[in-house]
Amino acid sequence: MPTNRAPARGSAITSMSFGHACVDIYQGAVAALVPFFVSERHYTYAAASGIVLAASLLSSVMQPLFGALTDRRAMPWLLPVSTLVGGVGVALSGLGHSYPLTLAVIALAGTGVAAYHPEAARIARQASGGSHTAMGWFSLGGNVGFAAAPVLVAAVVGVGGLRASPLLVIPAVAGAVLCGFAVRALGAGGVGASHAARVPGRNDWASFVKLSVAIACRSIVFVSLSAFISLYAGRRVGGDIAGTAALFLLYLGGAVGTVAGSRLAGRFGRVAVVRWSYVLCVPAVAGVVFVPGPLLYLFVALASAGLYVPFSLHITLGQDYLPRRIGTASGVTLGLAVSVGGVVSPLVGSIADATSLQWALAPLVALPAIGALVLCTLREPARLEKTPSVAGPSANSPRQEAR
Tens-digit pLDDT profile for residues 81-138: 999 999 999 999 988 888 999 889 998 998 898 889 888 888 887 777 666 677 778 8
What CATH number has the domain bearing residue 221? 1.20.1250.20
pLDDT-based confidence at residue 8 (cuts at 50, 70, 90): low
Packed helices 6-41 and 99-128: angle between N→C axes, nearest 10 degrees: 160
Domain interval for residue 374: 10-385
Q: Does residue 346 lie within any of the structural domains?
A: yes
Residue pLDDT, tens place only, 179-199: 888 888 777 443 343 444 455
* Range 215-234 average pLDDT: 88
Q: Does residue 396 lie within any of the structural domains?
A: no
Q: List residues bridging with 386 in a β-sheet.
A: 401
pLDDT at 188: 46
Q: Does residue 163 lie within any of the structural domains?
A: yes
pLDDT at 84: 95
Residue pLDDT, tens place only, 211-220: 999 999 998 9
**383, 239 Cβ separation under 8 angstroms:** no
Q: Does residue 142 lie within any of the structural domains?
A: yes
Q: Does residue 398 lie within any of the structural domains?
A: no
Q: Does residue 338 lie within any of the structural domains?
A: yes
Q: What is the DSSP letter of 387?
A: E
Nearest by Cα to 213 from 367, 63, 66: 367
pLDDT at 240: 65
Q: How many domains does the chain have?
A: 1
pLDDT at 5: 53
* pLDDT at residue 385 is higher than 70: no
pLDDT-based confidence at residue 165 (cuts at 50, 70, 90): very high
pLDDT-based confidence at residue 337 (cuts at 50, 70, 90): low
Residue pLDDT, tens place only, 234-264: 888 876 688 888 888 887 776 677 778 878 8
pLDDT at 401: 31
pLDDT at 360: 92
Higher pLDDT residue, 249 or 339?
A: 249
**228, 43 Cβ separation under 8 angstroms:** no
**Spatial distance between the Cα atoms of 72 and 52, rounded to a whole number of angstroms:** 31
pLDDT-based confidence at residue 76 (cuts at 50, 70, 90): confident
Q: Does residue 125 lie within any of the structural domains?
A: yes
Show Cβ contacts of residue 346 under 8 Å, excluding neighbours closer than 6 positions.
46, 49, 50, 52, 53
* 201 CB burial (10 A radius; 0-12, 13-18, 19+): middle
Q: Does residue 136 lie within any of the structural domains?
A: yes
Most confident by average pLDDT, 27-41, 163-177, 388-402? 163-177
* 355 CB burial (10 A radius; 0-12, 13-18, 19+): exposed
